[in-house]
Structure 1
Amino acid sequence: MSTTLTQTIKATPTTAFSRHATLSNEGEDKQGDTEPYRYSHLLPHFSQDHHPALVPFRHIDPGQRALAHSNPRSFLDSAISITQLTPGLGTEVHGVNLAALDSDGRDQVALEVARRGLVVFRGQEEFIDSGPDFYRAWGRHFGRLHIHPTSGHPKGYPEIHLVYRDSNSTFNYEIDDSITTTFWHSDVSYELQPPGLTTFFLLAQPTSGGDTLFTSQVSTLKKLSPQFVTFLRTLKAVHSGLEQADFSRSGRRGGIVRREPVENIHPVVRRHPVTGEEALYVNRQFTRRIVGLKREESENILKFLFDHIDKSADLQARVKWQPNTVVLWDNRVTAHSAIVDYKESKERRHGARITPQAERPIPAGEGLDLGD
């Protein structure tokens, strides 16, 4: 494994494991608030359950069904406003109630997210307050729900991935020995069938900060020269979950590894199964080496691509969180990074992610053999 690409990742100090049990099992609010925390039933829980390795499944993308609709954007008919965040990435929508959408409407959402990469829905109190059974039913419409191997989840709902930080604790996978908290990634890209459409929302947020950055991996690819893209289409890379598991095994983030970590090989350039668009598919957090190249060759190509993703501010969108906001993105064609700029405020940031898996990444290059 490349020593150049491996980063030391270290959590900010947390309390002992008994603290984790207090948060998750008793659901108490330790922020010093005078009123009980409204979402205490969704605080992080770290069960001792262990799960077998994931098995392949056939994914049918709901966005494909929407292509047959007479108006694939009719779910937006009730919208009060629709605003493009940037020309190439992201749309903000007011006036559409996600919780009220029928099956056809959800299919159309999947297609819109695939086309725009990122869609921000404001005013989604009904969705957020519908609870974890609703979250699971929503997510299952878009694919098999992923159970994260190391993160916290609401008790009894392992399919709901939680991010959590308050004045005393963090249960996130965070960098603490870097000059930046920006850490671009596509969620759990080390899985054989990584996520497609992802839903994320905050239950509590700081008064300022805690934004999320997104970048279009379709656009980052288009910025490269045609000759270089042709070469990249011939490459495949290893994505690894080993470091994330080791982080938890060291006692941080709850200290739990529910499923043995895996490494899988994916194309460096993948093709979206619905839109046909090609997207760069490497990320600094999980992509470790390019198969078949010498170490120095792999390190230099990946460093160039990671730096390209990091520095392409003209291809990025920034989501500023407001109460009752639900954000959907397509992990196949975007990358993202949390911004941990609110530590000094000691305020709570509590988010929930619904993460359906999609197909095994489809190579953009004809005949690229990914192996079995």
Structure 2
Amino acid sequence: MPIATTTTTATKVEEATQGIATLKLRSPAAGEGEKAGEEGYRYAHLLPHFSPDHYPPLTPFEHVDPGHRALALPNPRAFLDSAASVVELTPHLGTEVTGINLAELDSSGRDQLALEVARRGLVVFRDQQDFIDRGPDFYREWGSHFGRLHIHPTSGHPVGYPEIHLVYRDLKSTFNFEYEDSITSTLWHSDVSYELQPPGLATFFLLAQPQSGGDTLFTSQVATLKRLSPQFVAFLRTLKAVHSGVEQALFSRAGKRGGIVRREPVEHVHPIVRRHPVTGEEALYVNRQFTRRIVGLKREESETILRFLYDHVDKSADNQARVKWRPNTVVLWDNRVTAHSAIVDFKETGEARHGARITPQAERPIPALEGLDLSS
């Protein structure tokens, strides 16, 4: 259905971002403890900006996953050889690494990293101030190694760098896609899954964070699928679902987040069970935030199956990992085989949570069932 458009004036944009633009600053102590809103905040140049630019629809492109190149190496995990520690967060999902400077990885090291993230779903790197402080030009160069950089249609970005997706919340304002009328802030999703070619490997880090709270939950969509009976999985492989960006656009057009929609919302059909192009693993590919209906089923049938799958994801704590943020942490995950949710449990403290995400697109989701027709 066509979406009614509204005109967002420069005045409205200025009003929407006034809480960011007029942050009162004061000098922090040296080292850790700098916070958004304090004078001398070193990441003030990365605070959200909502440009009124309008972009045309995204066009298809050929994606070559760098993990393929790593498969041909004698040791596709050689980039971890110099790590001080490599610890699995859970058997199914997540690895924490210390002692490696991500910013110094060469092209081969980045290829190996892509493969490792695909295999583990989630990799957490501590002590990455060098990476974070290299700034937005470096972020774009880094992300471009893994795919075409996605420009988010509604989120804030640093001035002049629309490829850097920002999250921001403090006591008085939020510039995130989140709702206040729910009993929980947990909302599992795979980033912008409504695109024809959704993201693969994503890189995210916090620039300011609350002393407690603001964690991020991750779940393995490979493990959640494996928990289901073979007969049911075989049925799911025959299904495809609509993923929609319409609700997200309407949220912004209502004046929330920043009030900007830079690219008209899209809906695309993806397989409910997808295959990773490098590892060959199958993963469940539905999420509460963007999946709307199963193609070809009646409404009650679609709702029943999707509700069951969402509940399965929600309740499967044995497939989940929780990232507790520390300063200078960089987290990478593969959107094709995981889902995640921010935890907004800190808003009453008045502290800010300010983060940046680098989001390369990947291939159009590959159906686990060969030959599945993805037309609507």
Band of TM-score, shorter chain: over 0.9
Match in the other structure for 2:196: 192
Whether the 8 Å contact between 1:24 and 1:46 is mirrored in structure 2 is no
Distance 1:310 1:346 in 2: 28
Whether the 8 Å contact between 1:280 and 1:333 is mirrored in structure 2 is yes
Deviations 1:226-284 (A, max 9, x none): 00000000000000000000000000000000000000000000000000000000000
What is the CA distance between 1:367 and its match in structure 2? 1.5
Whether the 8 Å contact between 1:88 and 1:116 is mirrored in structure 2 is yes
Deviations 1:56-101 (A, max 9, x none): 0000000011001111111001100000000010000000100000
Length-normalised TM-score, structure 2: 0.92
Match in the other structure for 2:363: 359
Whether the 8 Å contact between 2:23 and 2:37 is mirrored in structure 1 is no
Deviations 1:262-318 (A, max 9, x none): 000000000000000000000000000000001100000000000000000010000
What is the CA distance between 1:36 and its match in structure 2? 2.5
**Which amino acid is 2:344 matched to?**
V
Following superposition of structure 1 onto structure 2, how do residues 126-145 of structure 1 map, counting pairs within 5 Å?
126-145=130-149
Matched, 1:331 2:338: no
Whether the 8 Å contact between 2:19 and 2:173 is mirrored in structure 1 is no
Whether the 8 Å contact between 1:195 and 1:357 is mirrored in structure 2 is yes
RMSD: 1.6
What is the CA distance between 1:23 and its match in structure 2? 5.5
Counterpart pick for 2:306 among 298, 302, 305 = 302
Distance 2:23 2:61 in 1: 35
Match in the other structure for 1:208: 212
Matched, 1:346 2:350: yes
Distance 1:202 1:208 in 2: 13
What is the CA distance between 1:38 and its match in structure 2? 1.5
Q: What is the identity percentage for the equivalent residue pairs of Structure 1 and Structure 2?
A: 78
Counterpart pick for 2:320 among 316, 326, 330 = 316
Counterpart pick for 2:86 among 82, 106, 116 = 82
Distance 2:15 2:212 in 1: 26
Distance 1:359 1:331 in 2: 11
Unaligned runs of 5+ in 1: 2-15
Distance 1:59 1:189 in 2: 16
Match in the other structure for 2:171: 167
What is the CA distance between 1:165 and its match in structure 2? 0.6
Whether the 8 Å contact between 2:13 and 2:52 is mirrored in structure 1 is no
Matched, 1:271 2:296: no
What is the CA distance between 1:366 and its match in structure 2? 2.0
CA gap of 1:168–1:232, structure 2 versus 1, over 3 A, is same
**Which amino acid is 1:317 matched to?**
A
Match in the other structure for 1:229: 233
Match in the other structure for 1:178: 182
Matched, 1:124 2:100: no
Distance 1:133 1:163 in 2: 19
Counterpart pick for 1:369 among 365, 368, 373 = 373
Distance 1:37 1:271 in 2: 43
Whether the 8 Å contact between 1:92 and 1:119 is mirrored in structure 2 is yes
Whether the 8 Å contact between 1:23 and 1:29 is mirrored in structure 2 is no
Matched, 1:146 2:114: no
Aligned length: 358
Match in the other structure for 1:55: 59
Distance 2:15 2:106 in 1: 41
Distance 1:67 1:144 in 2: 21
